[in-house]
Chains A and B, each alone.
Chain A
């Protein structure tokens, strides 16, 4: 019994990390159509911000989350204003440009912070483990799970319930018509990009106490994030959540019954087969045509 519970929790924990990393990518891709290959570096920058705030200012991780979100939002805002806005409707160019931004971000971090692996202290209050139905789970992993859900709800609320969200949905359906109704689409795009970057930064800060912080850490995350978005279907927030849940539980389960190498391969093969038959992903945002 406790084994089943702890395996379920493990799957949920993997899912929550996947969703955190994929959420920002899904928002940016879903709204602006930009394939952001620098997304992994946004995650990495978030982790380095956490490290910097901790070592330089002595700020704990939980307190740092808000400044990190703001810093990465600003960073995303600047990147959009300087590079991305010139490249809308040129998807191939955005791939190249964002890849270049990613490489530069890695090298700048290496120059400023050095190539060593860094670590971020886990909040003391969360470093114990919690008993749930006989299974023990790390309190920190549960915390990450709740933050991920909270971010999802916040994003969903912005998307469905606010005026900004309404404009956003209008632009996603048809940018030209939305603009002719007075929606400032370039402003909405820029805010979306900034928000996506901010969420990625949070993801990086949140994984940093569990994993290691290095200039290259983003590369693996960006692959995972694309898997989630492709499987879930773009423009669908629920798709992102559902597909991270599926991928997380599936890879956790496969890794438990065989090993991580097999799990990774099987998950990738499953995705390839699935998108062969359902290229739009599992979930499609409904819209009037």
Chain B
């Protein structure tokens, strides 16, 4: 018994020491060597196909796969084929980390495209930092991250709000009601929104958060009736978006006098709530499915013919799509023997691509993208009508809500 226990203890200590260091020393030297071999470039595709966020991540997976197939069909990258290794992290951050480790260490992918929620990004981040690897993240998010190992192709708060908030204040008025789901993303977006509102001399009449997955908004609707704000700024996410819009609509409130302005309501959410409930409300995003450009026409047609005519594209699936093309352009600049995560990161700095939304460019300083935000109003047919777009593409500033801080290539700087 005693020896068993001792064996168990020493084994356990060794194992936990091994686990605590994140399995580094055996492989980390090699991870830089993870590169193209046998005429193939392996990339990881890490989107949940099951679990609560599968509803949206499935569409990101589809857009990624489609982009990879397009590139391969056109001859690959300098004759090398992109081979996707698809993993399903099941909407669980711990599984995300585990699968990311597998893609990086045992599959030796040169880059990983993936994840939707901030929680899952935070979970995989240590893997990519430790292995000096490269992760491509397509989702709009709250900013405040400064990593050398992530290419961010979605919008950060300044890119969605800088033009949206003043426009709404001018058009509707200065009494704002902020509603969000109770987690980090809505709080950071609201922080930035409050900063902009203060500069404009507008007033926040209330700021409140509902639990994730919340579906009973009748008390909030009573408060809206009592407060009569000019604008409802909503950063509610997921199923709750659907419940909020449907109950707002059922209560007979009018978007013409009290519109909801959102950063998260895309064609995807609208399809789930029905056009009638969404009509009249506003969203700010770099991409809408109706955007008129040859690139977008091609994207939408290819997406529908491949995945079904009833499918919609939206501003996260669009960036999931164009980031693969950015990857392709960066890798195309490298010799086959030089393809590894670090050279790809260097090659992608300043790289630009004609995406469905327009020209996008990777900012070399912070690896976020220059995007062209647009303001859309939802119509009864479930599509948006684009009312405005920025004159030029907008610089990403993930720390804009925090004065004196800036994300640079050397890391976070105080200026």
Contacts and interface: CB of A to CB of B under 8 A. Distances in A.
A84 B19 CA distance: 44
A129 interface: yes
Interface string B235-253: 0000100110011011110
A128 B213 CA distance: 26
A246 B39 CA distance: 68
Interface string A164-195: 00000000000000000000000000000000
Contacts of A13: 218
Given A119-B272, A214-B239, A216-B52, A140 B220 contact: no
Contact of B250 (A6, A17, A110, A141): A141
Nearest to A17: B216
B414 interface: no
Contacts of B216: 14, 17, 251, 260
A212 B273 contact: yes
Contacts of B239: 117, 211-212, 214, 217
Nearest to A12: B218
Nearest to A107: B50
Nearest to A128: B252
Contacts of A261: 182, 209-211
Given A117-B239, A129-B252, A141-B250, A260 B272 contact: no
Contacts of A141: 218, 250
B162 to A, nearest CB: 28
Contact of B218 (A10, A110, A214): A10
B215 interface: yes
Nearest to A141: B250
A115 B222 CA distance: 32
Interface string B40-59: 00000000001010110010
Contacts of B50: 110, 115
Given A141-B250, A210-B250, A212-B243, A118 B52 contact: no
Interface residues of B, number: 36
A117 B218 contact: no
Contacts of B273: 117, 119, 212
B219 interface: yes
Given A6-B225, A260-B220, A115 B55 contact: yes
A119 B382 CA distance: 13
Contacts of B209: 259, 261
Interface string A244-262: 0000000111011001110
Contacts of B269: 117
Nearest to B225: A6
19 contacts: A6-B225, A14-B218, A17-B216, A110-B50, A115-B50, A115-B55, A117-B239, A121-B274, A138-B250, A138-B252, A210-B247, A216-B52, A220-B213, A252-B219, A253-B219, A256-B219, A260-B210, A260-B214, A263-B219
A206 to B, nearest CB: 13
Interface of B: 50, 52, 54-55, 58, 182, 208-211, 213-216, 218-223, 225-226, 239, 242-243, 246-247, 249-252, 269, 271-274
A261 B207 CA distance: 13
B52 A260 contact: no
Contact of A116 (B55, B208, B243): B55
Given A119-B274, A210-B247, A260 B242 contact: no
Interface of A: 3, 6-7, 10, 13-14, 17, 110, 115-119, 121-122, 127-129, 136-138, 140-141, 209-212, 214, 216-217, 220, 251-253, 255-256, 259-261, 263-264
A31 B219 CA distance: 35
Contact of B222 (A10, A129, A212, A259): A10
Contacts of B218: 10, 13-14, 141, 252
Nearest to B246: A210
Contacts of A210: 215, 243, 246-247, 250
Contact of A211 (B58, B226, B246, B271): B246
B219 A10 contact: yes
B215 A220 contact: yes
Contacts of B55: 115-117, 214
A115 B54 contact: yes
B233 to A, nearest CB: 16
Contacts of B246: 119, 122, 209-212
Given A119-B274, A211-B242, A256 B252 contact: no
B250 A140 contact: yes
A110 B52 CA distance: 11
A3 B222 contact: yes
Given A10-B222, A210-B246, A129 B215 contact: no
A121 B276 CA distance: 9
| Most B CB within 10 A of own CB, among A17, A122, A211, A256 | A211
A23 B341 CA distance: 57
B211 A117 contact: no
B215 A212 contact: yes
Contacts of B54: 115
A129 B210 CA distance: 25
B251 A129 contact: yes
Contacts of A217: 239
A129 B222 CA distance: 14
A127 B274 CA distance: 14
A264 B216 CA distance: 11
Contacts of B225: 6, 136
